[in-house]
Amino acid sequence: MSHDGENIMVILSSPSGVGKTTLTKKIQQKYQSFKISVSHTTRPPRSNEVDGVDYHFVSKKKFENLIFEKKFYEYAKIFENYYGTLKENVDNIIKKNDLIFDIDWQGTKQLSKYKNLRLTKIYLITGSKDELKKRLLKRNQNTTQEVKKRFESFDEDIKHWSDYDYILINENLENCFKQIETIIKNSKENSQHSISSVIR
Ligand code: 5GP
């Protein structure tokens, strides 16, 4: 995988329910250059999700074939389902656009091994564990069992914060969005600097 021009890759990770999807969509709406990396998953779609937009929903057999054929830059098993980022999709998008990845810490670790990537890694959290539980329950998209599993994964997740460049607390969506915008602008500028120093 290699970059053309100064396009950047931003990873946004967080426990479920912190507002990552909303923020990712906000970035894409405001910055036309950004595309969201649409992952493959074996998780069944939620009622509001569209195949090919939110995820590419595939069977376990299809996913395991893709693993066998080494088609993924990264993949992970999360809450008993597979999630992964297809090489082909990333390689096509990064030629013309910046990319946002909504992936977990396992995927972040795997992508970080590609040293030539201009990755900016952001971890989003809520102000407290109680707040996270409230948001998960309010979201009402998961069964009680799923909420429990997602809540419990928080303790495992926080062990991996040191793999990230930035940790942001999403107490207020607009403030958090502004912080992400600043990070993105800095990353773009740094990327342009590194290109001009190569050209010179
Ligand atoms: P959900 O089922 O709530 O949509 O996502 C569960 C978790 O899977 C989230 O933390 C999300 O960031 C992560 N995830 C989604 N797509 C990918 C992917 O392609 N790779 C990895 N490693 N994690 C993913």
d(Cα 98, Cα 34) in Å, to the nearest integer?
A: 5
Nearest CA to ligand 1 atom 5: 16
Residue 200 pLDDT: 44
Q: Which residues does residue 84 pair with via DSSP β-bridges, in sequence order?
A: 40, 75
Nearest CA to ligand 1 atom 17: 103
Interhelix angle 173-199/20-30, rounded to 10 degrees, is 50
For ligand 1, say whether the CB of 98 is within 6 Å of any of its atoms: no
Residue 199: pLDDT band (50, 70, 90) is: very low
Token pair recorded at residue 79? 């809450």
What is the 8-class DSSP label of residue 55?
Answer: B
Q: Which residues does residue 169 pair with via DSSP β-bridges, in sequence order?
A: 125
Q: Which atom of ligand 1 is nearest to the CA of 40?
A: 19
CB 40 within 8 A of CB 128: no
Q: Do the strands 98-101 and 34-36 form a parallel or antiparallel pair, or are they unpaired? A: parallel
Nearest CA to ligand 1 atom 1: 16
Segment 96-109 mean pLDDT: 95
Q: Which atom of ligand 1 is nearest to the CA of 81?
A: 2
Q: What percent of the chain has pLDDT over 70?
A: 92
Tell me the CA distances in angstroms from 190 to 7, 121, 197, one per residue in order: 11, 15, 11
Q: Phi and psi at residue 108, in whole multiples of 5°?
A: -60, -45
Nearest CA to ligand 1 atom 4: 16
d(Cα 63, Cα 69) in Å, to the nearest integer?
A: 10
Check residues 193 and 159 and name the one with the higher pLDDT: 159
d(Cα 62, Cα 66) in Å, to the nearest integer?
A: 6
Q: Considering the chain, what is the average pLDDT of its residues? A: 88
For ligand 1, say whether the CB of 66 is within 6 Å of any of its atoms: no
Residue 195: pLDDT band (50, 70, 90) is: low
Token pair recorded at residue 188? 């773009």
Which pLDDT tens digit goes with each residue over 117-157? Answer: 889 999 998 888 888 888 877 766 667 777 787 777 788 88
For ligand 1, say whether the CB of 74 is within 6 Å of any of its atoms: yes
Residue 21 pLDDT: 84
Nearest CA to ligand 1 atom 22: 107
Q: Which atom of ligand 1 is nearest to the CA of 142?
A: 3
- Would the pLDDT of 63 be above 80? yes
- Would the pLDDT of 3 be above 70? no
For ligand 1, say whether the CB of 76 is within 6 Å of any of its atoms: yes
Angle at 26 between CA 24 and CA 29, to 5 degrees: 115
Which pLDDT tens digit goes with each residue over 33-56? Answer: 999 999 999 999 999 899 999 999
Which pTM was predicted?
A: 0.88
Domains of the chain: 9-192 (3.40.50.300)
Residue 81: pLDDT band (50, 70, 90) is: very high
Segment 76-98 mean pLDDT: 94
Token pair recorded at residue 14? 């967080």
- Would the pLDDT of 170 be above 50? yes
Residues 6+ away with beta carbon under 8 Å from 82: 40, 41, 42, 60, 63, 64, 67, 75, 76
For ligand 1, say whether the CB of 94 is within 6 Å of any of its atoms: no
d(Cα 42, Cα 65) in Å, to the nearest integer?
A: 12
Residue 166: pLDDT band (50, 70, 90) is: very high
Q: Which atom of ligand 1 is nearest to the CA of 39?
A: 19
User: Of the candidates 22, 20, 63, which has an alpha carbon nearest to the alpha carbon of residue 39?
Assistant: 63
